[in-house]
Structure 1
Amino acid sequence: MEYILRPIYQERASLPETLGVIIVKKVDNIENITDTFDCVLLIIVKEAEVPVFTKHYLHENQKMVMHVITEEILNKWLFIGTKKQVVDWIFNGKIMFDRNEYLVNLRTKLHEEPYYGRKIKTGIQFSKLIRRVMEGKDLFNRGNFLDAYSNVTESLHHLARLSVLDKGLYPEVTVWSQVKKIQPEIYKLYEELLFSKESLEKKLELLFLAIEFMINARTHDGAQHLLETMLEKDLWTIQELHTHKELRFYSGDLEVLIEYLIDKAYIIVKPIDSKNQTIQHRSYTVDKKLVELEYDL
Structure 2
Amino acid sequence: MEDILRPIYQERASQANTQGVLIIGKSERALPATDTFDAVLLIIVEEANEPIFVKHYTYENKKAALHVVTKEQIDEWLLMGSNKKIFEWLYNGKILFDRNEYIQNLKIELQEFPSQERSIKMGLEFAKLIRRYSDGKTLFENQNYFDAYNHVVHSLHHLARLTIIENGFHPEVTVWNQVRQMEPEIMKLYEELVQSNEPLEKRLELLFLASEFLIHSRTKVGITHLLDVLSEKEKWTIQEIIQHDELRFYSVDLSILLEYLIDKYFIEIMNIETKGKGIEHRYYKVIKKL
TM more than 0.5: yes
- Quote the residue 2:170 is aligned against: 170
- Quote the residue 1:85 is aligned against: 85
Tell me the SS of whatever aligns to 2:240.
helix
CA contact (8 A) 2:23 2:93 kept: yes
CA contact (8 A) 1:128 1:158 kept: yes
The answer to whether 1:181 aligns with 2:181 is yes
- Quote the residue 2:35 is aligned against: 35
- Comparing 7-16 with 195-204, which one deviates more in the overlay? 7-16
- Quote the residue 2:131 is aligned against: 131
CA contact (8 A) 2:53 2:69 kept: yes
TM-aligned CA deviation for residue 86 of structure 1 = 0.9
CA contact (8 A) 2:149 2:204 kept: yes
**Matched residue type, 1:201:** E
CA contact (8 A) 2:19 2:99 kept: yes
Pair 260,58 (structure 1): closer, same or farther in 2 beyond 3 Å: same
CA distance in 1, matches of 2:29, 2:189: 32
CA contact (8 A) 1:109 1:116 kept: no
- Comparing 219-228 with 90-99, which one deviates more in the overlay? 90-99
- Comparing 220-229 with 193-202, which one deviates more in the overlay? 193-202
CA distance in 1, matches of 2:114, 2:31: 23
Pair 234,53 (structure 1): closer, same or farther in 2 beyond 3 Å: farther
TM-aligned CA deviation for residue 274 of structure 1 = 5.1
**Matched residue type, 1:175:** V
CA distance in 2, matches of 1:30, 1:51: 25
TM-aligned CA deviation for residue 141 of structure 1 = 1.0
| CA displacement, residues 218-275 of structure 1 (integer Å, 9 cap, x when unaligned) | 1100101111122344443333333333322222112221221122222233345556
Identity percentage of aligned residues:
55
After superposition, where does 1:17-166 map in structure 2 within 5 Å? 17-113=17-113, 117-166=117-166
- Quote the residue 1:219 is aligned against: 219
The answer to whether 1:11 aligns with 2:29 is no
CA distance in 1, matches of 2:258, 2:49: 31
- Quote the residue 2:194 is aligned against: 194
CA contact (8 A) 2:24 2:40 kept: yes
Pair 27,196 (structure 1): closer, same or farther in 2 beyond 3 Å: closer
Pair 175,276 (structure 1): closer, same or farther in 2 beyond 3 Å: same
CA contact (8 A) 1:110 1:116 kept: no
TM-aligned CA deviation for residue 128 of structure 1 = 0.8
| CA displacement, residues 183-239 of structure 1 (integer Å, 9 cap, x when unaligned) | 111111112212334332222112111111111111100101111122344443333
After superposition, where does 1:274-289 map in structure 2 within 5 Å? 279-287=279-287
Pairs aligned (count): 290
- Comparing 18-27 with 58-67, which one deviates more in the overlay? 18-27
Pair 233,47 (structure 1): closer, same or farther in 2 beyond 3 Å: farther
CA contact (8 A) 2:238 2:283 kept: yes
| CA displacement, residues 141-182 of structure 1 (integer Å, 9 cap, x when unaligned) | 111111111111111111111222222122232222222222
**Matched residue type, 1:60:** E
TM-aligned CA deviation for residue 137 of structure 1 = 1.0
**Matched residue type, 1:84:** K
Tell me the SS of whatever aligns to 1:117.
helix
CA distance in 1, matches of 2:156, 2:80: 17
**Matched residue type, 2:5:** L
Structure 1: state its 5+ residue gaps: none
| CA displacement, residues 88-107 of structure 1 (integer Å, 9 cap, x when unaligned) | 21122122232332211111
CA distance in 1, matches of 2:194, 2:206: 13
Task: Give the CA RMSD over aligned residues.
Answer: 2.3
TM-score normalised over the length of structure 2:
0.89
- Quote the residue 2:246 is aligned against: 246
CA contact (8 A) 1:271 1:281 kept: yes
CA distance in 1, matches of 2:235, 2:47: 30
TM-aligned CA deviation for residue 59 of structure 1 = 1.8
Tell me the SS of whatever aligns to 2:34.
coil
- Comparing 138-147 with 240-249, which one deviates more in the overlay? 240-249
Pair 196,270 (structure 1): closer, same or farther in 2 beyond 3 Å: same
- Comparing 108-117 with 210-219, which one deviates more in the overlay? 108-117
CA distance in 1, matches of 2:5, 2:70: 20
